[in-house]
Amino acid sequence: MSSIWVYPGQGAQKVNMLRDLPQTTLVQHYLEQATNILKQDVLLLDQPEALKSTYAVQLCLFISGVISSSLMSEQGVKPDYVAGLSIGAWAAATVAGVLSFEDGLKLVALRGRLMQQAYPSGYGMTALMGTTQSDVEIWVNQVYQQNQDIFIANLNTANQIVISGSNQAMKQVAEKAQENGVLAKRLEVSVPSHCSLLDVQAKQLAEHIKGVAQQQPNIRYLSGTSARLLVKKEQVIEDISFNMCRMIDWESTVQSAWERGVRLQIESLPGTVLTGLARQTFKEGTVLSFQGTRLHSLIGAMHKESARSLNA
């Protein structure tokens, strides 16, 4: 029996997500550190107008993820695994010790700027719910023949697939899906993540990260793209550098965690998206989220799972 801490991607952001963090010395330290590193008040990043930008959203999610984990680590608990969806993988890598908080923050800021500058408008992501990957592949291929700005981006669950691309192409795929009784929902993401449209930006980011100090992970890191366990720092760095242009396979990542004996998943702030996605797989396990759960309850769950591991 073991545990995993997971970190959400874009779409989970909320107004005041940094301002609503627990008012503790540790949290204040992180927020002040982030402000000094970025040379801007990070508490302005979680406001409605700011959250329209990919740059602000990614920074807020990264900061929230690292702080969530630090609040638990401060209480003497440590997960067996970490994993993150999209930008969440950067928080996972930082929590695993591969990157420092300072370097991770600077690189996430660069990541957000690169993605935002490449696609300032006219693109995004749409979730299709109540369908299968094979059906979505057919619709995407049909639209792709006329408009090549459309791709499958995320395999969230067996019946929840996310597409990425231009607004026009996504609308065409969504119409085909809706004709077949599928629910289509535009996500709060303003760039076409997890497809080849971001190949150039991923390569630029990979060049920047080469000179940054890197350490071997001290917590096992599961890739949200390949669902594989990555044990070397070079593998983790390559994974987070290029995940913006690679399809996310979160369904397989959750399944991989379960098959490795994980029975407790805790999702970092700010949301509960990954908690919902894991419920089907973790029917006989426990899925919790920082959002709406008291810290002492999360710590208690971690201790309980550790005790099970010792007695197994």
Class of CATH domain 2-118+196-311: alpha beta
Does domain 123-186 fall under CATH 3.30.70.250? My reply is: yes
Give yes or no for residue 108 having a pLDDT over 90.
yes
**274 residue type, one letter:** L
Average pLDDT over residues 31-55: 97
pLDDT on residue 51: 95
Mean pLDDT of 213-222: 98
Q: What is the pLDDT of residues 9-35, one digit of tens each?
A: 998 999 999 999 999 999 999 999 999
Q: Would you say 170 and 149 are in contact if contact means Cβ atoms under 8 Å apart? A: no
CATH 3.30.70.250 segments of the chain:
123-186
The mean predicted confidence, pLDDT, of the chain is 96
For residue 311, pLDDT over 70 is answered with no
Cβ atoms of 123 and 169 within 8 Å: the answer is no
Return the bridge partners of 128, or none.
161, 184
Residues 282-308 pLDDT 10s: 999 999 999 989 999 999 999 999 888
**Structure tokens of 148?**
């090549």
Provide, rounded to the nearest whole percent, the portion of the chain with pLDDT above 70. 99
Mean pLDDT in residue range 142-157: 94
Where does the chain hold its CATH 3.40.366.10 domain(s)? 2-118+196-311
What are the residues whose beta carbons fall under 8 Å from the beta carbon of 75, sequence distance 6 or more?
Answer: 295, 299
Q: Helices in the chain by DSSP H: which ranges?
A: 25-38, 54-73, 88-95, 101-118, 133-144, 167-179, 199-209, 233-242, 250-259, 273-278, 295-311
Q: Is the confidence at residue 312, as pLDDT, over 70?
A: no
pTM of the shown model: 0.95
Confidence band, pLDDT 50/70/90 cuts, at residue 140: very high
Task: Identify which of 230, 208, 207, 130 has the alpha carbon closest to the alpha carbon of residue 174.
Answer: 130
Residues acting as catalytic residues: 86, 194
C-alpha span between 18 and 128 (Å, rounded): 30
pLDDT classification of 148: cutoffs 50, 70, 90: confident
CA distances, 220 to each of 79, 87, 98, 236, 287 (Å):
9, 18, 11, 10, 19
Which residues contact residue 37 at a Cβ distance below 8 angstroms, ignoring those fewer than 6 apart?
A: 102, 105, 106
Task: Provide the Cα torsion 288, 293, 297, 303; round to 10°.
Answer: 30
At 159-193, the pLDDT tens digits run 999 999 999 999 999 999 999 999 999 999 999 99
